Amino acid sequence: MMLYPTVPEAAKRFITFVNASPTPFHAVHNAAVRLEAAGFRKISEKDDWEKDLKPQGKYYFTRNQSSLLAFTIPKNWKQGAGLSIVATHVDSPNLKVRPVSKRSKLGYLQVGVETYGGGIWHSWLDRDLSLAGRIVVTQQDGTFKSKLVKIDRPLLRIPTLAIHLDRDINTAFKFNQETEFVPILGLIAGQLNSPSEGEDSEKLPSVNTTAASIQANHHPALLSVLAQELSVAAEEIHDFELSLYDTQPAVLGGINNEFIFSPRMDNLVSSFCAVEAISGHVAEPAFTALEGNVNCIALFNHEEIGSVSTSGAESSLIPSLLHRLSPTAALLSQSVSRSFLVSADMGHAVHPNYSSKHEDNHRPVMNGGIVVKTNAKQRYASDAIGTFLVRKLVERRGGKVQEFEVRNDMACGSTVGPMLSKLGIRTVDVGNAMLSMHSIRETAGSYDVQNAIDLFSSFFEGFSEVDRALTVD
């Protein structure tokens, strides 16, 4: 008898989403497509919203193509109402192409890269890698536009050294991230045996003829591939932000499809579930009668490097939304006091080969339900009020709750929760249990995707009711 007889539909939809989202730019774009299909209307931070926002309205806006906020206005909404926010992030550790990436050595075309975030970098070795991101190109009318690009075939690889050349590789493997972590793009035709080719990487880079040109910064072959993908001339490419990604797609795995094997699950699982929950919420008949808080999701960039950016959690995104919905100091204070934020980020499942890395009574398992993350030093923002509310909301959907707290002899990670709690908003940290966090291939539970959607849906539907029944101050 199979323990997991059916494959969850939510897990299948997530796999489609993550395979189409190799960068934050793509994740935000795909989230926007899903929201628009659910009836959300895009608005701009540049515009005056005062006349646009209507009761039962559904809106979203993006910033710098890499962060997104979506929110719904309830029936009988008044300024000073709180926000019920699910906050996630869309970035993951990866390798980014350097501004001057052109390198060559010993007959190989190479691409200079920079590490982003705290990746398990050895997992990137011997993988079939490609490129994705955004490119600024010239349009037919002479204006410029930032367009998304995703090369769907393997272009790059970072080969390991054969064991015959490093007999200690299985006992003391180390590599230099600057000199021994450079991807190869191809071979220099006709130059394979040139003794001078090995010196190329030591030469000064070519100087561009104009300040607006980047043509000399990158291999012509690389620019040509990008130009073909966007159907433009190479000289019409003016700048780009490109990341490497693994071309092996995310899949269901395990003997009963109880797992998802995928890149970027930290934290595209939470982001996908937030989008699905608010999109499904507005389709429910109860949405038209719902009163209380403004429901909101916030998908941030740059969490893996500290959230300090125009599109990160420490930016003005949430404060700006609060101010626009409650424009006076008194109304703003009322709104903050009525608000609640669920910081959703993936958590650590207990590892069967490394069980000692978990505190004995705090060992979450995959497909075991929502993980509430607590830390006395406030690396997570959870407290008894937040965990109580999460338990009640999970209970409404018949789900389960697990607890995670780090060992005293280990450092604790963190999330967007603690920094956003500084706004004065009550905050709790939750996540789904997973293995191999920050590897190029991670493992999570296929049933936990729906568990997260259920929590966020219950939050949007029932928070105001549960909160009214709770007295704190």
Q: What burial letters (b/e) apply to 182-191, b meaning 16+ CB within 10 Å?
A: bbbbbebeee
Summarised one tens digit per residue, pLDDT across range 349-364 is 999 999 999 999 999 9
Whether 406 shows a pLDDT value over 60: the answer reads yes
Gap between the Cα atoms of 427 and 387, Å rounded: 9
Gap between the Cα atoms of 251 and 411, Å rounded: 32
Whether 52 shows a pLDDT value over 80: the answer reads yes
Mean pLDDT of 166-171: 94
Q: What DSSP string describes 287-335?
A: GGG--SSEEEEEEES-GGGTS-STTSTTSSHHHHHHHHHS-SHHHHHHH
Q: What DSSP string describes 380-407?
A: S---HHHHHHHHHHHHHTT--EEEE---
DSSP 186: E
Give the max Cα distance, the chain: 78
Summarised one tens digit per residue, pLDDT across range 192-201 is 444 444 445 5
Whether 202 shows a pLDDT value over 80: the answer reads no
Query: What length is written for the chain?
Result: 473
DSSP 207: P
Whether 299 shows a pLDDT value over 60: the answer reads yes
DSSP 161: P
| Residue 197, helix vs strand vs coil | helix
Residue 210 pLDDT class (50, 70, 90 cuts): confident
pLDDT at 200: 54
The pair of structure tokens assigned to 281 is 């919420």
Mean pLDDT of 163-187: 96
Gap between the Cα atoms of 31 and 20, Å rounded: 11
| Residue 146, helix vs strand vs coil | strand
Q: What DSSP string describes 225-263?
A: HHHHHHTS-GGGEEEEEEEEEE-SPPEEESTTS-EEEES
Count the neighbouring beta carbons within 10 Å of the beta carbon of residue 436.
18
Whether 48 shows a pLDDT value over 50: the answer reads yes
Whether 428 shows a pLDDT value over 50: the answer reads yes
Count the neighbouring beta carbons within 10 Å of the beta carbon of residue 21.
25
Mean pLDDT of 406-429: 97
pLDDT at 3: 60
Residue 2 pLDDT class (50, 70, 90 cuts): low
The answer to whether the CB of 71 falls within 8 A of the CB of 321 is: yes
Gap between the Cα atoms of 152 and 188, Å rounded: 23
Of the candidates 350, 348, 404, 414, the residue with the CA atom closest to the CA atom of residue 377: 414
Summarised one tens digit per residue, pLDDT across range 83-140 is 999 999 999 999 999 999 999 999 999 999 999 999 999 999 999 999 999 999 999 8
Residue 402 pLDDT class (50, 70, 90 cuts): very high
Whether 67 shows a pLDDT value over 80: the answer reads yes
| Residue 109, helix vs strand vs coil | strand
pLDDT at 206: 65
Of the candidates 93, 18, 23, the residue with the CA atom closest to the CA atom of residue 240: 23
pLDDT at 290: 81
Give the percent of the chain with pLDDT over 70. 95
Summarised one tens digit per residue, pLDDT across range 312-368 is 999 999 999 999 999 999 999 999 999 999 999 999 999 999 999 999 999 999 999
pLDDT at 192: 43
pLDDT at 194: 43
Task: Tell me the pTM.
Answer: 0.95
Q: Which residue is listed with tokens 């494959």?
A: 7
